[in-house]
Homo-oligomer: A and B are copies of this chain.
Amino acid sequence: MDEFSEVCRKQELDPLIIEDMLNENHLPKVEIFEHLVFLIARIFPDKEDLSRSSMVCLILGEHFVLSYEPGFSFFDSLLAPLKIHERASKSPESLFLSLCDGVVDSYLPLSTCLHRQADMMEEEALDQPGKDFSIRFQQLYKILGNCRRAVSIFHEDFMKLTPLNTPLISKSSQHILNDIRDHLRGAFQMLETNGSLLISIRGLYQDAVRQRQSEIIQHLTFITSIFIPLSFVTGIYGMNFVNLPLLESHYGYLVIFLLMILIAAWMWIFFKRRLKE
């Protein structure tokens, strides 16, 4: 932290900027000061656990670019391909923009990864949703919500960054800015698509549960419709009356069996017709 405060002091950063940088849960933002552009974005360093996002900060001054990323090295990995003299030869503005571009480019694989997960859930919902479907769905839903928030706020604030608003961005960079915005819009659109896909998946899942319940009830009704009337017939001939017809006759039970088969067939047909109605 000593190095951190030293740099801050040397560049005479506003205390409010420093406060924002130290709040690791800060929302993305772009703030334009007279001689500074201050940008906070959120990235998702761990592709296995998208529920955790990290803050990265960039400060563009007249003669410098400051980056601050607590606890990992996203910018370092972006800058790694550049040799030292290449870095030195770049203007602060172009360095700043290419770092922004790196942040935005990191959103695309994110969207793709979420899309793949959503597709898998969709297939499961259409086929055989398991017991823990709800739990996994809710997790994915919350992760997507976090990503959307991170990207949409950044997208919105990034609009402020135009050559008109700050002299630190030259007019000739306009098309690079446009390109970054395009990618941001692309990532945002893809997350939105995922969002509406997820909502329709919840609908599919609920339909599947309802459908399955409907089938079980159908099964129950089928079994009951067939056997309850038959049991009634056996009940009749189980009564101990002295002279029930057929009881004493030699093939009486065959007559009754025939009757039962007729009743079962009739119930079957009645049930099937009822279903079709």
A213 touching B213 in the complex, CB below 8 Å, given contacts A145-B196, A219-B225: yes
Q: Is A239 an interface residue (CB 8 A)?
A: yes
Number of copies: 5
How far in angstroms is the closest Cβ of chain B from A243? 7
Task: Pick from B33, B205, B214, B230: contact of A216, CB below 8 A.
Answer: B214
Contacts of A175 in B (CB 8 A): 14, 16, 33
Among A3-11, A75-83, A249-257, the one that faces the other chain is A249-257
Contacts of A224 in B (CB 8 A): 220, 223-224, 228
Please report the C-alpha to C-alpha distance between residue A149 and residue B189 in the assembled complex, in whole angstroms.
Answer: 9
B-contact 0/1 string along A232-246, CB 8 Å cutoff: 101111111111101
Question: Which residues of chain A (202-236) have a CB below 8 Å from chain B?
Answer: 202-221, 223-225, 227-232, 234-236
How far in angstroms is the closest Cβ of chain B from A38? 10
How far in angstroms is the closest Cβ of chain B from A105? 12
Task: Pick from B204, B215, B221, B243: contact of A219, CB below 8 A.
Answer: B221
New A-B pairs, 12, CB < 8 Å, besides A145-B196, A227-B229: A16-B175, A16-B176, A26-B186, A27-B185, A27-B186, A134-B204, A145-B197, A210-B213, A219-B274, A221-B223, A230-B235, A239-B256
